Amino acid sequence: MRENNINTINSVMQYHQICGLPKPLHPLVSVVNLEEIDFFLNEEFWRHYANNLYTISIKKGMTSKLIYGQTEFDFDDGVLVVTAPKQVISIEKLEKIELTGYKLIFHPDFLQGYPLAKTIHNYSFFSYSTNKALFLSDKEEEIVLKAFTKVKEQFPHSKLLIAPRDIMRTDEIISLALNYNIKGKKRTQLKLEPTADHDLVVLDTIGELGRLYSLADVVFVGGSFVKVGGHNILEPAAHGKPVLVGPYMFNFREIFDLLSKRGVCRMAQNESELEKTLRDLLAHPEKMKAMGEAALSVVAENQGATKRNVDTFAKLAEKYKIDLMENTDEY
């Protein structure tokens, strides 16, 4: 089944069929030996798919790169992968696979009647939001769209790029934008037919966010106007971009404090402040330039600190005859 050009797995039975496995013993839950999966049976399917099941996997031996949310992971080493329904995954290139390990898969209906059905969303390891550099919650999309309409009154050539948490909501976001007289296009549409007749681009691809930061003048990092606690603001800072956030940054308090003290990141308490800050920065390019330069400076300093720590540790290791390479394959 395909939704918005994304292959989807909707049942345990379908998962077994796609993997070339025998019929599952139970319709809602299964434990799979990864050595028995034939990935090349439906090779194209794995390029871009959403698994509408919960999965917990311990795996080793896949040399391909997996893109989970907006983040790329290597499968070279042993890794625990936990996913929830409607999360989008891509495997860039299926190479030689000597995969070992096991995967537990279960349908959400398997939890019905149990307390876990109501609380499983509280377990953060089932969310890939912590691995995303940027996403907006549903409420934040409206805040940003409202602020953008006012910004365009002063800066009519402005463009907005939204990277949603769930890229399967792309059409919904574009429809929402029309309520504010904002015409949107999907990133995939623009790849096929580049045009300029739009104000909004919604990112419906994965693995591109870091590269697209370079196009931005200002970056608003989501999860901060709602009590999610913010998201990683170092990525846009590393691209030399001014960073804006909402009032809820408790998950990244230390990083926020560091960047805000250096003038890299500004906090807006509400929609009105976000709009005013955007107007101020766009009206004063020298302020954006100063924030961007400060961002690069902070990142460079911290990279230097990391190198100094590593060098110091290496000297200590040499002094005390510690073999840093010993048993590294166990970690």
Give yes or no: residues 200 and 167 share one domain: yes
Instruction: Name the residue with higher pLDDT: 169 or 28.
Output: 28
Q: Is the model's pLDDT at 244 over the cut of 90?
A: yes
Give a yes or no: residue 324 inside a domain. Answer: no
Residue 283 lies in a domain: yes
Rg (CA), the chain: 22
Across residues 1-25, what is the average pLDDT? 85
How far apart (Å, rounded) are the C-alpha atoms in residues 285 and 202? 25
Residue 222 pLDDT > 50: yes
pLDDT at 323 (0 to 100): 47
- Average pLDDT, stretch 256-268? 95
pLDDT at residue 82 in the model: 81
Residue 185 domain-assigned (yes or no):
yes
The yes-or-no verdict on residue 154 having pLDDT over 50 is yes
Structural domain contains residue 186: yes
Do 40 and 82 lie in one domain? The reply is yes
Secondary structure class of 146 (helix, strand, coil): helix
Residue 71 and residue 194 share a domain: no
pTM: 0.57
**290 lies in the same domain as 231:** yes
Q: Which of 72-86, 173-187, 199-213, 296-310 is predicted with the least confidence, judged by mean pLDDT?
A: 72-86
Q: What are phi and psi of 266, to 5 degrees?
A: -120, 140
Helical (H) or strand (E) element with 261: helix 253-261
Residue 145's pLDDT band, with cuts at 50, 70 and 90, is very high
In sign, the C-alpha dihedral spanning 113, 118, 121, 122 is negative
How far from 257 is each of 213, 253, 263, 281, CA to CA, in Å? Answer: 22, 6, 10, 20
For residue 147, the model assigns a pLDDT of: 94
Top mean pLDDT of 78-82, 173-177, 301-305, 314-318 is at 173-177
pLDDT for the residue numbered 132: 38
Name the more confident of 60 and 210.
210
Q: Which domain holds residue 148?
A: 138-297
So what's the pLDDT on residue 259? 93
**Residue 95 confidence (pLDDT):** 61
Q: What is the mean pLDDT of the chain?
A: 81
Same domain, 119 and 160: no
222, with CB counted inside 10 A (0-12, 13-18, 19+), is: buried
Does residue 106 sit in the same domain as residue 178? no
Q: How far apart are CA 64 and CA 131, in angstroms?
A: 19
Shared domain check, 148 and 115:
no
| Same domain for 290 and 245 | yes
Residue 321 has pLDDT above 70, yes or no: no
* Higher per-residue pLDDT: 134 or 169: 169
Q: What is the rounded distance in angstroms from the CA atom of residue 192 to the CA atom of residue 304?
A: 42
Strand stretches in the chain, DSSP E: 2-3, 6-9, 29-33, 49-51, 54-62, 65-68, 71-74, 79-83, 88-91, 97-106, 160-162, 184-186, 200-202, 219-220, 243-245, 265-267
Domain-embedded: residue 303: no
How many angstroms separate the CA atoms of 292 and 229, rounded? 24
186 and 281 part of one domain: yes
Considering only 8-22, 182-196, 268-282, which range has the smallest mean pLDDT? Answer: 182-196
- Give the pLDDT score at 193: 84
In a domain, residue 26? The reply is yes
Q: Where is pLDDT greater, at 172 or 286?
A: 286
More confident residue, 320 or 42: 42
Residue 20 near residue 38 (C-beta atoms within 8 A): yes
The contacts of residue 265 (CB under 8 Å, 6+ apart) are 233, 237, 242, 243, 244, 245, 256, 259
pLDDT, tens digit (0-9, with 9 covering 90-100), for 74-130:
555 446 678 888 887 777 666 656 677 889 999 999 999 899 988 887 776 666 544
For 142, counting Cβ atoms within 10 Å of its Cβ (0-12 exposed, 13-18 middle, 19+ buried), the class is middle
Report the pLDDT value the prediction gives residue 92, as an integer from 0 to 100: 66
In a domain, 320, yes or no: no
Tally of domains in the chain? 2
Locate 258 and state its tokens. 């560091």
Predicted pLDDT of residue 79: 60
Pairing of strands 97-106, 29-33: antiparallel
Q: Are residues 286 and 154 in the same domain?
A: yes
So what's the pLDDT on residue 133?
Answer: 34
Q: What is the CATH number of the domain that holds 184?
A: 3.40.50.2000
For 160-166, what is the mean pLDDT? 84
Residue 259 and residue 177 in one domain: yes
Point out the domain boundary residue: 75, 94, 128: 128
Q: Is 309 a member of any domain? A: no
Cβ(214)–Cβ(239) below 8 Å: yes
Check whether residue 68 and residue 155 sit in a common domain: no
Summarize pLDDT for 16-70 with one digit per residue, the tens. 999 999 999 999 999 999 889 887 777 788 877 888 999 988 776 666 666 665 5
199 or 76, greater pLDDT: 199
What confidence score (pLDDT) does residue 129 get? 47
**Calpha distance 221→266 (Å, rounded):** 11
Q: What is the DSSP letter of 164?
A: B
Please enumerate in sequence order all residues whose Cβ is within 8 A of that of 172, keeping only pairs 6 or more positions apart, or say none: none
